[in-house]
């Protein structure tokens, strides 16, 4: 799992070239300021509309639901002692999110999404990408293609 984290971090940094982002805005959702929209200086970005945000939320819910079903199935088929299923299930309501919208090589609208439930010293999460090693389900990310209404590269950090 650590290798997946390293690969995902490399892919993001490679796609962002400089790795530096500029904050565009913070979206107020459900009374909590839990989404920061960041821009990669080296890639063509686009403004997220309300319709985009709704589509992102639905695709994100689908991705998390699939992940949770896979974890439930894994625990049902291979009971593991000393581990609790709840330690692996993701509840989106407790996560802060970073959205990095960009256009891919085909000019399609994509968003890299970074989710985390703990700041662990990352007090500038609204302006800087949060990268951590390990942390388990508290840290995960994925990429959404808005034009295709699909997601890819869903990756949950490993446990230490």
Q: Please state, in angstroms and rounded to a whole number, the distance separating the CA atoms of residues 123 and 62.
A: 29
Enumerate the domain spans of the chain.
2-156
Measure CA of the first residue to CA of the last residue in the chain; give whole Å. 10
3-state secondary structure of 149: coil
Which of 97-136 are b and which e, b meaning 16 or more Cβ less than 10 Å from the residue's Cβ? Answer: bbbbbbeeeeeebbbbbbbbbeeeeeeebbebbbbbeebe
The tens place of each residue's pLDDT in the chain, 160 residues long, gives 444 333 344 344 444 433 445 544 555 555 557 899 999 888 899 999 999 999 999 999 999 999 999 988 887 777 665 667 777 889 999 999 999 999 999 999 999 999 998 877 767 888 888 887 777 888 999 999 999 999 999 999 887 6
- 112's tokens: 């890299």
Digit-coded pLDDT (tens) for 51-96: 999 999 999 999 999 999 998 888 777 766 566 777 788 999 999 9
């Amino acid at each position: 799992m650590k290798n997946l984290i390293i690969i995902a971090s490399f892919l993001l940094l490679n796609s962002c070239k400089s790795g530096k982002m500029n904050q565009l805005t913070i979206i107020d959702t459900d009374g909590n300021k839990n989404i920061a929209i960041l821009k990669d200086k080296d890639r063509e970005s686009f403004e997220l509309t309300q319709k985009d945000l709704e589509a992102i939320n639905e695709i994100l819910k689908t991705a998390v639901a699939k992940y949770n079903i896979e974890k439930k199935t894994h625990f049902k088929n291979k009971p593991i002692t000393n581990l609790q299923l709840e330690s692996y299930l993701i509840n989106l309501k407790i996560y802060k999110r970073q959205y990095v919208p960009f256009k891919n090589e085909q000019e399609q609208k994509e968003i890299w999404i970074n989710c985390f439930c703990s700041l662990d010293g990352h007090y500038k999460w609204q302006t800087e990408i949060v990268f951590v090693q390990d942390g388990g389900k508290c840290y995960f990310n994925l990429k959404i293609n808005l034009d295709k209404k699909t997601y890819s590269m869903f990756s949950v950090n490993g446990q230490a």
